[in-house]
Amino acid sequence: MKRSLLRLAGIAAVAGLWAVGAAAQAPNFSKYVALGDSYGAGYGSGCLVVREQRFSYPAQLARSFGITDFQQPTVSDPGIPTCNQITSLTPTFGPISKNTGAPTNAALARSYDNLSVPGYKIADVSDKTTDNGGIADLILRGRGTQLNQALGLNPTFITLGIIGNDILTAGGAGFLQDGVTATPLALFTAKYNAVAAALKASGRTGVFLGTPDPRFIPLASTIPYYVVDPKTRQPVRDAAGNVIPLYGTRDTGDPRCKVGPGGKVCPLPPGTEVTLGASAPQAALGGKSLLALGFGIPCSVDATLPKCDFGLPDGSFTPPATVTIGVVLYPDEVIAIDQRVRDMNAVIKSAAEANGFKYFDFYALSQDLIVNGRTYAGIHISTSFVTGGMFAYGEAVHMSNIGYTILSDELIQFINASYGTNLERPNIATALFTPDVPAPGTTGAIGPAASVDFTEEMWRGFFRSFPFQEESFELVFPAEPAAAVERAAPVDRSRVIRVPRKRL
Amino acid sequence: MKRPRFRLNRISLPLALAAFLAAVPAFPAGFQVMTQGAKATGMGLAFTAVADDPSAIFYNPAGLGWQKHFEAQIGAEFLTKVKGDFEGSNPYPGNGVSEKQHSTTFVVPNVYAVVPLTNELNFGLGINSPYGLGFRWDNPETFSGRFVSQNAVIQTVDINPVFSFQATPTFSVAVGADYRFSKVQLERNNAAINPLTNSVVDVAHVKLNSKIQDNHGWGWNAGVLFKPIPQFSVGAAYRSRIKIDYEGTANFEQRLTGTPFDALVAPQIPRGSHPVQTKIEFPATLNLGTAFTFPGDFLVSLEADWTQWTSFKSLDIHFPDLPGRDLHRDDEWRNSWAYRIGLQKKFGAMAFRAGYYRDKTPMPTEDIGPLLADNDRDGYSLGFGFGTDRWGIDVSDLYLKVHDRNNRGHSNDNFYGTFKEAVNVFAFSLRVAF
C-alpha cells in the first residue's frame, strides 16, 4: 500500500512538472510581429494589394492567434506596383490597370505589425531605413529599420521570413555568383545571426522560415530542357521516341554539339532548368520571345524558325557592373544553388535554435508541394504555373491567395506541433473560391494584352522582387543574336535595361 | 402439353430484382444491413440463438431444424434517416459551413420460405438485401464535398437457398449459398482552377452507374444451433466473403462557367458514356449468440457479431478507354464487433420485445468523408408480436443513434467537420404456416 502511494505521488509529481514545463514553453501570442520579405508581405500578382495582403501568412497567423488589431500596410486596387492579371487563356498576361493603387493604412500612428518588405535580404532587415521612395518606404515610413520597428513593438511572438532574396536571384539570372546574384554565405551568416540575437528576448518565441527549393518556383520549373510543341504542349520526340533537347551556348562536350549560325551550340543535359524568360516576348526581339524565334530549337525540328540552331543564352557578369541575364541553369548551377540554399537553411536553423526560436523547414515543404501539391475534398492544387492554383500571375515566383493559405496552414500546424498549442487552422475554402480579381470600381482597367506566356515586364519584375546585390548593376537581357554571340564585345548601351525603381 | 418454365431472362430478371431494389438501405454499420425481420429487429437483432421464425434463413439457418411446417414470411423495413447533418470546420470546408444529407424513407422487403423435406431435413429460401448504402447530399451542386461525392449508392439483392439438418433433437446444422446481385452508383463534380480568376470552379459532372442484373457473385453460409435444454440455446452463423466485379458506364458532362475557360476545358472532358469497372469485396460475418428462457416465458438473448471489414481495402475505379483517369482510394477499414441484447416477454399469443446494441464502426477516422461517414452507434428497439403456430404478425421499431464524429486533424479527403446521424427503422412481418 505504501509503495503504491509513493508510486502515485511520483506520477503526480512528474505530471505536475510536465504541466509546469508545458506552461513555461507555451508561446504568448498576444503581440505578434512579422519580419520578412515579399512572401510575408502577401505580395502575389506582382504587387501589394489588400485583396491579396489579407491572405499573407502573417495576417492568417494573426487571425489564428486571435489578434484583432494586426496592422498591415494595405494598398487599394489596382495595387502598388500595378498588379498583373491573366488577360486571356492563350495565356496572355498584363497589368490590370493603367493606374496604381494607394496606401489605405498609411495614417497608422505606430509601426505595422506586418513589417515584411518585398525584395528584402537579411542585411536589409537590420540596416535599411529607406529605398528612396520605393516600396520599403511605404512600409517603414521613415520609422527606422524593419528590425528596430519590430523591437519597438515589443512582440511576444515573431516570425522571421527572409526566404529567398539572398539567393533566388541566381535562379532568375541563370548563374550563381557571390556579390552579384547571391549574398556571400559568410555575410549571410553574420547578418542572420545578428538579427536573430537582436530578436532574442525573455518571454519571446517565434518561428524562422527557411528558404524553399528554387525549383519550387514556376519561373525556373515550367519550361523543360527539351523541345515542346507549343500547340499540344507535349514533348517533340525523335524517331526513336526520345525527347529532343534544346540547344544552349555552353560547350558541354556532348558529341551532338554543333556549330550553328550563332556559334557552337550543345544539347541541354537532363537536369537543366530553363527559365520562363525564354518565353517572354521582348521589345528588343520585335515583340517575340527567344523560343518563339527559334533560340534553342534545332533546325531539324523546325527549319522555318529564324533563329533555329542558335543556343539559349547563359547568364554572366561582366565587371564592373554588367549583368547579362540568361535563361538557362545547367545542372552544375542547379546543384550549386541548391547547395547554397541548404547551407543558408543550416544557418537559419542554427540561429533559430540558438536564440529560442523554431525553424520551419520551408525547403522540405516546397519539395513536398512540388511532388504532391495539396488536395482539399477533391480539389487539387499544384505548383504548375497558371493551371495549378498555387502561384499568382506576377513574376512566376510569388504564391497566390491559395498558395499563401496553404503556407499559413503548414505554419500553424508546425506551431501546434512545436509548442503543443491548438491553434485554429485557416479556412482554405475562402481562398479556393474567392476570385482574385480587381475590386469593383477599380479605375483604368486594361483589357487583353498582346503578350504571350510571360511578359518582359513580369520578367523584369522578378528582379525587383529578387534584386541583385548592388542596385547599380546594369542588366542586359537576351536580345538579338549580335549581342548574344558577341558577348565579349562592349555592351550595346541601347540594349541595357536598368532595373526599374520600385514604383509608388 | 409443356409446362411454361420460369426463366430469369434479360427482362424478367431486372424486374424481379427491381422489386427489391425499389427499397435500398441507406445507413448500415459500414454498409451492412442487419434488419431483415421484424421479430429480430424488435430484439435488437440478437437472434442467432433464437432463430425461431423463417427469418432464421438470414440470422441462423440452423434454426430451421425446429420449424416442422411449411412456412412463408414476408416483411419489410422502412428505414428513415431522421438526422444527417454535417458541420464543417477549418481548413476545409470551413467553420460555419452546414450541410445536410438527403432524407427519405427506403423500403426494404424480405421474403422467406421454409419447406420441410423430411423430419430432419429442411429447405429454406430467402430473398433480402443485407448490404446497401445511400449517402446522398442535399443541394449537390453547392455541397462543399461535391468533388468527392454527391451521391453514393450500393444496392444488393441476395437469393439465399439453405438446407438444415437436425442431427439430434438438441442440435441442428445448416449450410446454404448466397447469390448476390448488386449495383453501384457514384456521382460527383470535377474541379479546376479557372486561370482568369485563380479560383476554383466546377467543370464537369461524372456519374458512374451499373445495372443490377449484370453484376453478381457467389458466397456461402452455414450455421449451428444447440439447445441442450428447452430453456437454453447457443448458436453461431457464418457468411463468407462475396466479391463482385462491376461493369457499368461513366457519363461525363461539362459544367459551363460562362467564360472563355469553357473552351479550354472542353477538349479535356471525355463527354459522353464510357465503360467503367470496379469491384467490392463484401465482408465475411460471424454471429455468436446465446439465449435463456426464464420462468414466465421471459427470453433473454445475447449476441456478439464480428464482421471482417478488412476485406474493404480500397475503392478502385478503372476506365478502360480513358487512360490516366483511374481512381484509387485507400480505405483501411478494421474488423468490427457488435454486441447485442434482446428481451422478449410472452403473454399467451402476445409477445413484447425490446433490445439494445452497440455497434462498433469499422471506419477509421481518416476515412470518413462525403462518400461515407460512419461511427459507433447505439440501437434501441421495441417490438410486438401476435400469433399462433399457424400465423403471426410482428412489428417493431429500431432507433439507431450514430455517435457524432469529428475528424479534426484526420481526414484523407481533407474534408473536416462533425458528422451527425440518426436512423429509424420500422419493421413488420407476416408469417403463415401450412
Residues A38 and A129 in one domain: yes
- Answer yes or no: is A456 within a domain: no
Predicted confidence at residue B137, as pLDDT, reads 95
State the pairing for strand pair B71-88/B98-100. antiparallel
Chain B interface includes A60 (CB < 8 A): no
Average pLDDT over residues A76-86: 90
Determine, for residues B195 and A89 on separate chains, whether the beta-carbon distance falls below 8 Å.
Answer: yes
Determine, for residues A377 and B199 on separate chains, whether the beta-carbon distance falls below 8 Å.
Answer: no
- Among partner residues B147, B198, B263, which is closest to A379 by beta-carbon distance? B147
Residues A422 and A385 in one domain: yes
Q: Which of A414-423, B17-26, B47-56, B373-382 has the lowest mean pLDDT?
A: B17-26
Predicted confidence at residue A491, as pLDDT, reads 30
Which of A427, A434, A454 is the best residue to mutate to test the B interface, defined by the most B CB atoms within 10 Å of its own CB? A427
pLDDT digits (tens, 9 = 90+) for A143-174: 999 999 999 999 999 999 999 999 988 988 88
- Answer yes or no: is A158 within a domain: yes
- Among partner residues A88, A388, A426, which is closest to B91 by beta-carbon distance? A426
- Answer yes or no: is A405 within a domain: yes
Residues A98 and A199 in one domain: yes
> CA nearest B90 in A: which residue?
A427
Predicted confidence at residue B3, as pLDDT, reads 42
pLDDT digits (tens, 9 = 90+) for B265-313: 888 889 899 999 999 999 999 999 999 999 999 999 999 999 999 988 8
pLDDT surpassing 50 at residue A481: no
- Answer yes or no: is A485 within a domain: yes
Residues A47 and A94 in one domain: yes
| Domain C-terminal end among A433, A460, A486 | A433
Residues A209 and A233 in one domain: no
For chain B, domains (ranges, CATH) are 12-433 (2.40.160.60)
Residue A362 structural domain? 29-220+331-433
Q: Which of A280-284, A458-462, A482-486, B248-252 has the lowest mean pLDDT?
A: A482-486
- Answer yes or no: is A503 within a domain: no
Q: Which of A5-9, A468-472, B80-84 has the lowest mean pLDDT?
A: A5-9
> CA nearest A438 in B: which residue?
B197
Quick one: pLDDT band at residue A17, thresholds 50, 70, 90?
A: very low
Chain A residues with beta carbon closer than 8 angstroms to that of B95: 424, 427
Residues A314 and A347 in one domain: no
Q: Which three cell numbers, joined as nine digits, stand for A394?
A: 506576377
- Among partner residues A378, A389, A428, which is closest to B193 by beta-carbon distance? A389
Residues A270 and A319 in one domain: yes
Residues A72 and A188 in one domain: yes
pLDDT digits (tens, 9 = 90+) for B188-233: 999 999 888 889 999 999 999 998 888 999 999 999 999 999 999 9
Please tell me the total count of domains within chain A: 2
B-contacting residues in A 416-445 (Cβ below 8 Å): 424-430, 432-437
| Domain C-terminal end among A409, A433, A457 | A433
Average pLDDT over residues A96-120: 94
Provide the CATH number for the domain around residue A423.
Answer: 3.40.50.1110
- Answer yes or no: is A7 within a domain: no
Predicted confidence at residue A454, as pLDDT, reads 62
Alpha-carbon torsion A381, A387, A389, A390, what sign? positive
pLDDT surpassing 90 at residue A459: no
Residues A295 and A275 in one domain: yes
> CA nearest B201 in A: which residue?
A433
Residues A43 and A90 in one domain: yes
pLDDT surpassing 80 at residue A292: yes
- Answer yes or no: is A311 within a domain: yes
Residues A322 and A417 in one domain: no
- Answer yes or no: is A111 within a domain: yes
Average pLDDT, chain B: 91
Q: Which of A325-329, B42-46, B132-136 has the lowest mean pLDDT?
A: B132-136
Residues A239 and A365 in one domain: no
Chain B interface includes A386 (CB < 8 A): yes
